[in-house]
Amino acid sequence: MLPTALAHPDAARIATAVGIFSSGLFAGFSLGLSAIALPALLAGAHSSDKNILPPMFARLYRRGARAAVPLAAISTLALGYSSAAHFSGGADTEGWMLAVAAAACGGAVPFTLTVMKKNISTLIKASEEGGLDIEEQVKELVKWMRLNFVRGSGPLLGFVLTLCAAFW
């Protein structure tokens, strides 16, 4: 429960708006990597330089992490606050939807650190030391792309739930 001063309806509305924007941006950013950036990167698999894919992935991953982690934090905090503000007035459907949305957005980081860790480590290590032939590089990149689609579906679910909570 939030103290009454923190559960002001305008503050909750602002937090919901921030949650809509940040979760939508997070979902689009994350899913865009798998839908646009990785296929373009994989097109380089036929390059004369057979070790170009892992360093390109490492650069893309590091830049992406610098954007994704703050977006995950902003989405989770804004939606969590908005959910708590709803619950301070009594449990309601919107509060539950916002709580699930916050968890869906925040779940992307633990998913990365657990489910995707080995795959990411393999690609980062290959970028620094080599050791993967081109078929293995493509296999690992395709695996990352699929896992990233799963990871990006959390923020997308959060975005949809927040829209439903706000406008239903």
- Please report, in tens digits, the pLDDT of each residue of the chain (168 residues total): 555 555 577 888 999 999 999 999 999 999 999 999 999 888 877 776 778 899 999 999 999 999 999 999 999 999 999 999 988 877 789 999 999 999 999 999 999 999 999 999 999 999 999 888 889 999 999 999 999 999 999 999 999 999 999 998
Decide if 99 is inside a domain.
yes
Q: Contact 18/74 with Cβ under 8 angstroms?
A: yes
Decide if 2 is inside a domain.
no
Decide if 4 is inside a domain.
no
Task: Give me the pLDDT at residue 4, please.
Answer: 55
Domain containing residue 68 = 9-167
Residue 101: C-alpha distances to residues 90, 119, 152, 159 (Å): 18, 27, 13, 7
Q: Contact 21/78 with Cβ under 8 angstroms?
A: no
Decide if 23 is inside a domain.
yes
**Closest C-alpha to 144, from 64, 50, 72:** 64
Q: Rounded to 5 degrees, what angle do the CA atoms 44, 131, 141 make?
A: 40
Cα–Cα distance for residue pair 125/18, rounded to 1 Å:
37
Number of compact structural domains in the chain = 1
Question: N- to C-terminal Cα distance for the chain?
Answer: 23
Q: Contact 27/39 with Cβ under 8 angstroms?
A: no
Decide if 1 is inside a domain.
no
Q: Contact 65/29 with Cβ under 8 angstroms?
A: no
Q: Which helix (H) or strand (E) holds 93?
A: helix 93-106
Decide if 3 is inside a domain.
no
Cα–Cα distance for residue pair 26/40, rounded to 1 Å:
20
pTM: 0.89
How many Å is the Cα radius of gyration of the chain? 19
